[in-house]
Amino acid sequence: VPVLFKQALENTEMEEGKSVSLRCELTKADATVVWKKGEATLQASSKYEMKQKGTVAELVIHNAEPEDA
């Protein structure tokens, strides 16, 4: 059975230099989630924080810049 989005990402606006959180909800708990920007896969770092609890996956972007759009 494929894993689907129950709740997709929504567009979010925020101030430059602040942190922003992007969340999505999946149909299956603990499914593997890969966050990408274009073709590039994002890796956990001081800039990008990935969290997952049950069916909710979250990406936190710290010190957001226009290039993060």
Structure confidence by residue, pLDDT tens digits, 40-51: 999 999 999 999
DSSP helix/strand/coil, 66: helix
Structure confidence by residue, pLDDT tens digits, 16-68: 999 999 999 999 998 899 999 999 999 999 999 999 999 999 999 999 999 98
| Residue 55 belongs to domain with CATH number | 2.60.40.10
Asked whether the beta carbons of 31 and 11 are under 8 A apart, the reply is no
Predicted pLDDT of residue 61 = 95
Measured from the Cβ of residue 61, the count of other Cβ atoms closer than 10 Å reads 20
Expressed as residue numbers, the domain containing 22 is 5-68
* Pairwise CA distance, residues 22 & 16, whole Å: 16
* Pairwise CA distance, residues 16 & 62, whole Å: 10
Number of domains in the chain: 1
